[in-house]
Structure 1
Amino acid sequence: MVLRLRLQRWGAIHKPFYRVVAADSRARRDGNFIERIGTYDPMIDHDGRKKITFNFDRAKYWLSVGAQPSDTVARLLYFAGLYPKPPLRDVTISALKKKQPEAS
């Protein structure tokens, strides 16, 4: 059984709210989970910030027993100081050429 630290979506339409959970990798996104270890609210509050909360002890525990974080959770754990910087995604040259504006 491979454990993943991943996001479980809650909230309403156009108002997402996520729980950071430890779950079996074969379980559905919003299905059964083993433990909830934090929350992530991507909606910007009145201070212009996004809200992230973690139970640091439990997050460290799950990482120590071999749980693999998803890409998004790895980035959130990096911002919290619990995980090394995740590697950058591979970008192809053709994708870079499409993003550059053409000079006339």
Structure 2
Amino acid sequence: MSLKIRLARGGSKKRPYYQIVVADARAPRDGRFLEKVGSWNPMLGKDNEKRVELNADLIKEWIAKGAQPTDRVLRFLAEAGLAERAVRSNPDKAKPGKKAQERAAEKAQKAADAAAAAAEAAAE
């Protein structure tokens, strides 16, 4: 049985509230779970201490038993110092594609040619 520490949504429409639960990976998102280990209220401010509440002892026990936290829960655990989160960094993501790089190179070449022509005209 694959265990996940994940979010189960509660609250009303447009007012989300999440329970952090340990559940079988095959169970529905808001369905059956084994134990509630915390909560997350995204409606509260980021500086509010009640925004994320974690039961550290239970979480450590479940991780020792093999439960895997989801990405969002792992982020909460890393902030609380309960787990290590690998830094995801993709420096190539922000770079333009090949066509855009070619267009930029052509534009730079035209600007350099125009500057050279202007310098030549000024020299004469």
TM range (shorter): 0.7 to 0.9
Count, aligned residues: 96
Residue 92 of structure 1 deviates from its aligned partner by: 7.5
Are positions 1:60 and 2:57 aligned together? no
- Please name the residue that 1:102 is paired with: none
Larger helix proportion of the pair:
2
Are positions 1:85 and 2:80 aligned together? no
Q: Which residue, 91, 94, 97 being the options, matches 1:96?
A: 94
Quote the Cα distance in structure 2 between the aligned partners of 1:5 and 1:22.
Answer: 4
Quote the Cα distance in structure 2 between the aligned partners of 1:53 and 1:10.
Answer: 15
Unaligned 5+ segments in structure 2 are 97-124
- Please name the residue that 2:117 is paired with: none
* Misfit runs of 4+, over 4 Å: none
Give TM-score, length-normalised by structure 1. Answer: 0.80
Query: Residues 61 and 48 of structure 1: is their aligned pair in 2 closer, same or farther, counting only changes over 3 Å?
Result: closer
Residue 85 of structure 1 deviates from its aligned partner by: 2.2
The letter for the 2-side match of 1:67 is: A
The letter for the 2-side match of 1:42 is: P
Query: Which structure has more RCO (C-alpha within 8 Å, separation ≥ 6)?
Result: 1
- 1:3-82 paired onto structure 2 within 5 Å: 3-45=3-45, 48-49=47-48, 51-82=51-82
- The share of aligned pairs that are identical, in percent, is 40
Residue 56 of structure 1 deviates from its aligned partner by: 1.1
**1:22/1:37 contact within 8 Å kept:** yes
